[in-house]
Amino acid sequence: MSNRPSREVGFLAGVFAVLGVLHFAVPRQFTAIVPKPLPYKRELVLASGAAEVAVAGLLVAPRTRRLGGRLAFGLLAAVWPANLQMTIDAYTAKRPWWFTLGTVARLPLQIPMLRIARRAAQA
């Protein structure tokens, strides 16, 4: 196992770190996309932000990279419903076409991130 994460794992760790911090800096942006039926939206946003920062740290540390990959995979799967909710909201709120298209395009973009997480888990 290399001491340094691969470029793609480093990228994934960076994405998690930035988004995790943003959960605390601008939580309102994230509470808006929590699926409607879920309670405690702010708490879920803060917990997922903390989880993202933790996963980023686990991915860059050689001794915890495999665990970080497993948790990254699970976290990506867990937040997918929020991304779907964002797409539904954009469509129903008649947001500009380019915004709605961006939310739709975002959904399959998680697939490469899931693959990177899986590779990190198997490293």
What are the residue ranges spanned by the domains of the chain?
A: 7-79+110-122
Q: Identify the residue whose tokens are 């920062």.
A: 53
Share of the chain above pLDDT 90, in %: 72
Cα 82 to Cα 72: distance, rounded to the nearest angstrom = 16
pLDDT at 118: 96
Of 47, 49, 43, nearest to 18 by C-alpha is 49
Structure-block tokens of residue 25: 């800096």
The Cα–Cα gap between 90 and 115 comes to 27
pLDDT digits (tens, 9 = 90+) for 65-116: 999 999 999 999 988 888 898 899 998 998 899 989 999 998 998 999 999 9
Regarding pTM above 0.75, the answer is yes
Mean pLDDT of 12-29: 96
